[in-house]
Amino acid sequence: MTTVNGTLASASASLKITYDELRREVGRFLGYSRTPTDWDSTESSDVSDIIRGGLRSFYFPSEVSHRWTFLCPTVTLAISAGTRAYNLPADFIQMASPVTFSLNDKKGILGQVEPEELRAAESSASVSDTPRYFAIQARSQASDAYEILMYPTPDAALTVKYSYEQLPADLGSANQYHLGSAAHSELLLASCLMIADKMINKESLDPSGGLYMARYVSLLKSSIDIDNKIVAAA
């Protein structure tokens, strides 16, 4: 079974459009050489800027209010007795679901409070028990990374589960694949070509945004329909 799942995962990844393929497609659209190594620094910069803009429109579409399921992973966190602070994932933006105890541990939902409220509770009554509240704060004043604080301080090992909004990383030679399934690859390409078309046709008077905008909007609707089916099946 492991082999089958691994094969399916590999096949799915192979069907996704890669960063290198996006570069070639955008470069061809702009009329650049079909060989990216022949591009000058300005051409390379143009293509990189377009792909970055295309990724933003793909992951965070301004045309609709939709939160992709693939940007909200569900994870578990092992809690240890006597430890109240735990690092959150490096790509954490904010919670996308309640923080709950896993089924094998005590059941229930932890309430979220502000860090100041949690510190005030600790200063007035520092106790060890099953956590009932949590707070999220930056690990340091100069950090973009976050940690989760538990109260009361756990008195036993347990596991909590939560989903969070994920900050997607830029694509590049070392990060070839976008988040989400291969079913969304055409949307990402359309998003990049829409951005490229806007760059070329800055003076266009077409209020609809033109052919590439129309294709992007159409594929966006289709991708959202696919994503909503995942939510409905969950």
Distance CA 185, CA 188 (A): 5
Q: What gap in Å lies between CA 39 and CA 31, rounded to an integer?
A: 11
Tell me: the pLDDT tens digits for 121-155?
888 877 899 999 999 999 987 778 999 999 999 99
> 169 and 19 in contact (C-beta within 8 Å)?
no
Residue type (1 letter), 118: L
State yes or no: pLDDT of 77 exceeds 60. yes
21-26 average pLDDT score: 97
For the segment 178-230, what is each residue's pLDDT rounded down to a tens digit? 999 999 999 999 999 999 999 888 755 565 567 899 999 999 999 999 999 98
- Cα diameter, the chain: 68
pLDDT band, very low/low/confident/very high, at 84 (cuts 50, 70, 90): very high
| Angle at alpha carbon of residue 23, lines to 22 and 25, rounded to 5° | 65
The pLDDT value given to residue 124:
80
Question: Average pLDDT of 171-176?
Answer: 95
> Residue 173 above 90 pLDDT?
yes
In this prediction, residue 205 carries a pLDDT of 54
Give the global pTM. Answer: 0.83
Determine the Cα–Cα distance for residues 132 and 144; give it in Å rounded to an integer.
Answer: 26
